[in-house]
């Protein structure tokens, strides 16, 4: 690499917990950084599920390098054993971190990255590629696009903006796009007892999905139904065995998550939630001006549910369009970096822990380009914030030329009494509520073992799905 290229900043895409952790590590190493955030504030995705409480305590949700930047500023550390809401994660951690001068001067909000490439060459050109700066094209609030030259790129943009389809085979079902446009299919993790209350009070609401996001939403709807007569709740899942959806209960290593499953079971068994198992969505159709017909296949044949609103909880997937000119090497199943994919594939990975991993596992053929955080897990649902923090620590060490530190990866995780990615064994973020959750549940173990765990108590966080 030329000296000119080394003087350029490292671009971090996303200012969620993992993106800011990457920036903090770069600042600590004395490496110039520029942070591009699509929203108008830090943690814009986390703000959208601010009403959700995390499963994991503050102890596991604060990055060590970020703490070292914050402590001299007079920042008051939260009680480490308490479980924060998403809004608290932003207000008590991300916002103070973003005010640290070295971070603040590097942060560019309302700056959406639309493409990443190499300056002056597309994906097909190889000669001199590793020594050529990256070109990051960024759209401002007014849509104007500006190109930035940087020495390396850490994509920590998360998956929040890319929801999985509700239809089968990973595709939109017929009528799905139209139902979304009409507002009959709502945004994930709606604040049903808060700002979105009027959209659900007194209505028949269907939730589709089997993970933490579904559980949080269903429990909130149960609370709403107590106070709003006429509110009716239905829940549809692909799996056939409802019992595995409730997680580890008292055996769960994260008590808040165990309570979540136990409360959900109670609402179903009492009849407050009508559960439809083995339900695969096949089509949507408007049923009058303000209701929706949801058709699905079941072992008994085709079933149509007529509802007023539908809340999706089927998880998220990475947006790879901005990386079309980057030489990626992705696992063909989960769209994670190739070496990481087999370690987190939810169809096979259900027991034990995801090993600590860093720059080596996350590398691509494109030198000095990394995907970190929730997006690095692709479509897999078992991400934890602490995992992301260790990822970016290692990546930054590698960019600094400290290969020894980059290779020394370690991660301590809590233990849980179950080992699937349903309510009992998922992680730190909302993106883990896809069909992968149910696939992993099919191979759930019975004996208590340590596993990668989640983030929000109603999302799927310390599983919250969003890094940006």
337-360 pLDDT per residue, tens: 999 999 888 777 543 457 889 999
pLDDT in the model for residue 241: 77
- Residue 130: band (very low, low, confident or very high) from pLDDT cuts 50, 70, 90: very high
Question: What confidence tens digit (pLDDT) does each residue in 52-70 have?
Answer: 888 788 999 999 999 999 9
**Lookup result for tokens 């070295």:** 102
Give residue 225's pLDDT: 97
State yes or no: pLDDT of 117 exceeds 50.
yes
Q: Which CATH number fits domain 3-161+316-464: 3.20.20.10, 3.40.50.300, 3.40.220.10, 3.50.50.60?
A: 3.50.50.60
Which pLDDT value is given to residue 375? 97
CATH topology of domain 168-312: FAD/NAD(P)-binding domain (3.50.50)
Mean pLDDT of 119-126: 96
111 versus 252: the higher-pLDDT residue is 111
Mean pLDDT of 361-370: 97
Please state, as a whole number, how many other Cβ atoms lie within 10 Å of the Cβ of residue 305. 20
Cα-based distances in Å from 464 to 162, 166, 246: 14, 19, 18
Q: Do the strands 369-371 and 232-236 form a parallel or antiparallel pair, or are they unpaired?
A: unpaired
> pLDDT tens-digit profile of 63-116?
999 999 999 999 999 999 999 999 999 999 999 999 999 999 999 999 999 999
Domain limits, the chain: 3-161+316-464, 168-312
Mean pLDDT score, 196-210: 96
Find the mean pLDDT for residues 173-194. Answer: 95
| Mean pLDDT score across all residues of the chain | 85
pLDDT of 257 above 60:
no
Helices marked H in 137-271: 176-181, 212-227, 255-269
Alpha helix positions (H), 400-431: 403-407
Output the pTM of the full model.
0.86
Which helix (H) or strand (E) segment holds residue 273: the answer is strand 273-276
The number of CA neighbours under 13 Å toward the Cβ of 213 is 33
pLDDT given at position 352: 40
**pLDDT score, position 389:** 96
* Structure tokens that stand for 400 in this block: 């600094």
Distance CA 87, CA 67 (A): 19
Q: State mean pLDDT over 180-198.
A: 94
Summary count for the chain: helices (H), strands (E): 15, 17
């Amino acid at each position: 690499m030329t000296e000119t290229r080394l003087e350029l900043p490292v671009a971090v895409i996303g200012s969620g917990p993992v993106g800011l952790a990457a920036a903090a590590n770069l600042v600590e190493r004395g490496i110039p950084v520029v942070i591009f955030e699509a929203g108008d504030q830090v943690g814009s995705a986390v703000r959208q599920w601010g009403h959700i409480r995390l499963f994991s305590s503050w102890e596991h949700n604060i990055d060590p390098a970020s703490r070292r930047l914050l402590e001299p500023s007079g920042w008051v550390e939260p009680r480490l054993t308490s479980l924060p809401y998403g809004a608290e994660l932003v207000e008590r951690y991300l916002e103070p971190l973003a005010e640290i001068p070295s971070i603040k001067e590097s942060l560019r909000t309302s700056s959406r990255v639309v493409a990443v490439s190499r300056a002056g060459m597309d994906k097909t050109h190889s000669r001199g590629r590793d020594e050529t700066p990256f070109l990051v094209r960024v759209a401002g609030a007014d849509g104007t696009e500006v190109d930035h030259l940087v020495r390396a790129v850490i994509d920590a943009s998360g998956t929040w903006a890319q929801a999985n389809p509700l239809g089968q085979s990973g595709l939109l079902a017929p009528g799905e796009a139209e139902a979304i446009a009409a507002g009959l299919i709502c945004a994930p993790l709606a604040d049903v007892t808060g700002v979105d209350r009027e959209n659900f009070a007194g209505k028949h609401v269907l939730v589709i999905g089997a993970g933490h996001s579904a559980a949080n939403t269903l429990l909130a709807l149960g609370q709403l139904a107590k106070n709003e007569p006429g509110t009716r709740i239905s829940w549809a899942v692909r799996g056939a065995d409802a019992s595995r959806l409730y997680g580890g209960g008292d055996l769960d290593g994260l008590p808040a998550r165990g309570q979540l499953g136990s409360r959900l079971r109670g609402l179903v068994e009492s009849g407050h939630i009508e559960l439809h198992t083995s339900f695969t969505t096949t089509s949507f159709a408007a049923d009058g001006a303000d209701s929706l017909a949801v058709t699905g296949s079941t072992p008994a044949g085709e079933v149509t549910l007529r509802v007023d609103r539908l809340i999706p909880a089927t998880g998220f997937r990475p947006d790879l369009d901005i990386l079309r000119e980057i030489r990626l090497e992705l696992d063909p199943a989960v769209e994670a970096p190739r070496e990481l994919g087999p370690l987190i594939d939810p169809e096979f990975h259900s027991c034990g822990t995801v090993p600590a991993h860093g720059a080596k596992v996350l590398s691509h053929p494109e030198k000095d380009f990394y995907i970190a955080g929730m997006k690095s897990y692709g479509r897999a649902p078992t991400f934890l914030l602490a995992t992301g923090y260790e990822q970016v620590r290692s990546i930054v060490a590698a960019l600094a030329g400290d290969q020894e530190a980059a290779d020394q990866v370690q991660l301590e995780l809590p233990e849980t009494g179950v080992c699937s990615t349903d309510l009992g064994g998922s992680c730190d973020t909302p993106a883990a509520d896809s069909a992968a959750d149910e696939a992993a549940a099919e191979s759930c173990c019975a004996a208590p073992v340590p596993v990668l765990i989640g983030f929000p108590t109603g999302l799927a966080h310390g599983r919250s799905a969003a890094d940006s």
